[in-house]
Amino acid sequence: MTTEQLPEAYARYVAGLEHSQADAILPVLRQSAADGERGVLVRFLPNEVQAMASEDVPFGTIREERYDD
């Protein structure tokens, strides 16, 4: 699945990320798009970024949590 096949909000989101962040998040965006049921939770930690499909986030939506301050 290419970024063109992702929901528009996902493709826009990943386009605005640094390359290393996009590499970490893109597989989860693809997973979410494939199942069509869960959105994506992205956590920014001091030295890394984590992403997971989440039933608490509506499909097609990305929620960020920042712990890097």
DSSP string, 2-14: -GGGS-HHHHHHH
pLDDT of 2 > 90? The answer is no
pLDDT band, very low/low/confident/very high, at 3 (cuts 50, 70, 90): low
- Distance separating alpha carbons of residues 21 and 51, to the nearest angstrom: 10
Q: What is the pLDDT of residue 5?
A: 83
Q: Give the pLDDT of residue 22.
A: 92
Q: What is the pLDDT of residues 10-69, one digit of tens each?
A: 999 999 999 989 999 999 999 999 999 999 999 999 988 999 999 999 999 999 999 966
**Which pLDDT belongs to residue 52?**
97
What is the rounded distance in angstroms from the CA atom of residue 35 to the CA atom of residue 33?
6
